[in-house]
Structure 1
């Protein structure tokens, strides 16, 4: 099969290549999926660049997320069945066969059915963005998505991948959603996702706009804690949980006393270290929401497998929406 691979970490143009590699066979508890779309996440290029780990042993096929059709199953696998359309998550986590290839072999537990009328574009957008969003909405609370009904959620960066699904999942759970964006164009994307109020955080009265909508935010899904800390604390109160899923060049200084006075808390989210039971809960909610039609694809930019370098560079440069590599 053809696959994008790297044998050492570094800049995309220096380490990524497209080569013929042997098509893998599924082992016990594994499935093989013929990939029809491979989603690229920021963690994919950061891992390839060497920012999150070491060089791979022999080679690594990148990308955690994807969509495709089950081609073969290993011993002990009852579901999914051969021929079933599926979406994949954490495909390259502890596994050299990520989704940037003709086929991926991965644990059956990391594969979920894709609803029959859902496009491939949606399946490739799930995984890291949507499951991270679901966990951010659950972590630090009761873990019950039903507890969000009637609550108010603030999503920082509502036009981003995680932000998009945080809006849709929160609305799916019955919450009211405020989101912050940096431009009118991004505001339209957030409104299309279902946000009740969209605020440009660059405007001087951003805090007043949020406070005019609600006097208390129950949960904040945060992409830039340091940059948004003042706004977050201005609308936080007793029981507010700020779920932080992205890091920044410099660690922010946390004003402990202000958090204590507000009785608010911070939960940090890195999907690759989430406990199994919490990961299963986030995946189950994502799958349910996708099955009910509550989730929509991000704006898609397509690249062929031979353009893998350009695809990685696009994500590294902050492409809006989802970069999709089509093998």
Structure 2
């Protein structure tokens, strides 16, 4: 089978397309023929050494993908050969990610993909959608699961609604009944956030965004899905209501945060840090189930019409795909691994 690998940290040029023998699934594992693989910022950060030294001598990148199960190990009962699935955390604590034709994963890392959802959609879930789910389900006065009506009466502020996590947060929050406000940096990104389902957008480069958000949510917002705390935390504290949650999943724009203790105390604000690798199995499984329910309801999609343009690369173009994500491509970067689900 074909696989993209790297044996040393560095820029995207360290990625090589090679031939490797396919592994067989062990107990509690399944083997998935990957049709589409998703590329996330964490992929190039791992590859470049941003998360420390390599833990395996050879690594196949890629946490997210979608395809068809072609073999199952002993003890696997809920997933069968021929099932369409989407993956999460394929590369976490393992050397083999989704940038290969066949990947062996624990059965807990795969979830059935509804027949109505394309492989493009399935490969775009994983890191973005599960992160968004976690950000929306940790507030004091909100739900710990998402379903239609679960966020009814709540207002969610999504920072950077044109990004992959922001897009997923908008779609999931709207499915769950929330009012969604998204901050954006341009008219083009406002159009994408609205296509995802945001009822309101605020261009933070124009006028006073605090006033604009407060005009839309006079009592304050209930949940903030935050991508750039170093830049936005001061704004967040001015627009939340008491006991709101600011869920922080990235450090775009800076890794240090200046916090006004008095301002935070006055709101009883909850700061929720979100990193999928340590959230726990129960939270991951809850997210997988709820996201799949949203898919079944037709409430989650990709493409320009859903606010998330898709950029396709061939497997042999994985280095270019990584470079595109590293250059902050707007939309979702996908790798076309196999032409079809079967050889």
TM-score interval, normalised by the smaller of the two chains:
over 0.9
Question: How has the CA–CA distance of structure 1 residues 144 and 102 changed in structure 2, closer, same or farther, with 3 Å as cutoff?
Answer: closer
Whole-Å separation in 2 of the counterparts to 1:80 and 1:237? 43
What is the match of residue 234 of structure 1?
238
Kindly provide the CA deviation profile for residues 187-222 of structure 1, in whole angstroms up to 9, marking residues without a partner as x: 111001110101111112222221111121000000
State the shift of 1:53 in Å.
2.7
- After superposition, residues 1-327 of structure 1 pair within 5 angstroms as 1-13=1-13, 15-141=14-140, 142-145=143-146, 147-215=150-218, 216-248=220-252, 249-297=254-302, 298-327=308-337
Name the CA distance, whole Å, in 1 between partners of 2:258 and 2:299.
37
Cα displacement (A) at 1:58: 2.4
1: CA distance, partners of 2:16 / 2:214: 51
Indicate the RMSD between aligned Cα atoms, in angstroms. Answer: 1.2
* Cα shift readout 1:101-143 (whole Å, capped 9, x = no counterpart): 1111101111111111211110010000001000000124352
Deviates more, 1:59-68 or 1:270-279: 270-279
- Paired with 1:206 and 1:25, the residues of 2 have a C-alpha distance of 54
Q: CA shift at 1:57, angstroms?
A: 2.1
Q: Which structure 2 residue ranges, 5 or more long, are not aligned? A: 303-307, 338-343
Q: CA deviation at 1:147?
A: 4.6
Residue 25 of structure 1 deviates from its aligned partner by: 0.7
More displaced stretch, 299-308 vs 249-258: 249-258
Using the alignment, how far apart are the partners of 1:91 and 1:250 within structure 2?
A: 26
**3-state DSSP of counterpart to 1:240:** strand
Q: Tell me, in whole angstroms, the C-alpha distance in 2 between the residues paired with 1:253 and 1:130.
A: 28
Alpha-carbon distance, 1:94 to partner: 1.1
Q: Distance between the aligned counterparts of 2:8 and 2:278, measured in 1?
A: 24
Structure 1 residues 262-281: Cα deviation after superposition (integer angstroms, max 9, x where no partner): 22121110011102222222
Q: Distance in 2 between matches of 1:109 and 1:94?
A: 14
CA deviations 1:221-266 (Å, max 9, x no partner) are 0000111122211111211100000024331111111100122121
Q: Distance in 1 between matches of 2:271 and 2:128?
A: 20
The CA distance in 1 between the partners of 2:198 and 2:241, in whole Å, is 21
**Alignment check: 8 A CA contact 1:7 1:56 kept:** no
Q: Which moved more, 1:135-144 or 1:203-212?
A: 135-144
Aligned length: 326
Q: CA deviation at 1:84?
A: 1.1
| TM-score computed with the length of structure 1 as normaliser | 0.97
Q: Deviations over 1:26-83 (max 9, x none)?
A: 0100000001000000001100111013124221100000010101000001121101
